[in-house]
Amino acid sequence: MAPPPVVAIDGPAASGKGTVAQGVAQALGLHYLDSGSLYRLVALKASREGVAANDEARLATLARLLEVEFDRHRIRLEDGDVTEELRAEPVSAAASRIAVLPSVRTALLSRQRAFRRPPGLVADGRDMGTVVFPDAILKIYLMASAEARAGRRYKQLIEKGNSVTLEGLLLDIRERDARDSARAAAPLKAAADALILDTTEMTIDASIAFVLERAKAMIAPTSG
């Protein structure tokens, strides 16, 4: 039997890939994997346990033993709800640092692949189409200018009552882009067979519609 189909959505920080992937998964009734949350969970657990961001062996062990539960839109780590904590800036920065470590990436591979269950999966991250699900039926590489991404994040954070500056966010995004792209292990890059979608001038709804149309065509090709 053919394995359940995967739609892979990769792209840089704050490109909107999470929102697009969730929208597509919901519209098609497919499972959803936010792979970045796994790197964030390892980072959070490491900070709780006082494990240094460069202690590759211990971090890989943490990644393998992580006790985590994904329940719709909530994420629990060892019985505590960490959904909001995972999005905090220190966790983002630490996740990006530990994501360069090959043994951590390897430890998370089977966890990510376990999300592939019938009727199918929409997965977002940096290496969904290149490494984790190279046989995805549809690969999308979502991008937007660093300025547009910083602007979107600024709006979200300000609405939530955070005090941030646009300049600071732009700097964070540029640093994370550089680290995610320059690392040797599974760097952020579009798969050779990915469709590249520049959302700088697009709304979220238009981006979801673009991916949905192609995903529907791949999952249930019309017979002519």
> Which residues bind to ligand DC, rule: CB under 6 A?
13, 35-36, 39-40, 92, 95-96, 99, 125-127, 176, 180
Please say which residue, 1 or 192, places its beta carbon nearer to ligand DC. 192
Please say which residue, 40 or 139, places its beta carbon nearer to ligand DC. 40
Minimum CB distance to ligand DC, residue 187 (Å): 9
CA 48 to chain centre: 22
Three-state DSSP string of the chain: CCCCCEEEEECCCCCCHHHHHHHHHHHHCCEEEEHHHHHHHHHHHHHHHCCCCCCHHHHHHHHHHCCEEEECCEEEECCEECCCHHHCHHHHHHHHHHCCCHHHHHHHHHHHHCCCCCCCEEEEECCHHHHHCCCCCEEEEEECCHHHHHHHHHHHHHHCCCCCCHHHHHHHHHHHHHHHHHCCCCCCCCCCCCEEEECCCCCHHHHHHHHHHHHHHHHCCCCC
Residue nearest to ligand DC (CB): 36
Minimum CB distance to ligand DC, residue 217 (Å): 25
Please say which residue, 132 or 137, places its beta carbon nearer to ligand DC. 132
Minimum CB distance to ligand DC, residue 127 (Å): 5
Please say which residue, 126 or 139, places its beta carbon nearer to ligand DC. 126
Minimum CB distance to ligand DC, residue 99 (Å): 3
Minimum CB distance to ligand DC, residue 203 (Å): 21
Please say which residue, 193 or 217, places its beta carbon nearer to ligand DC. 193
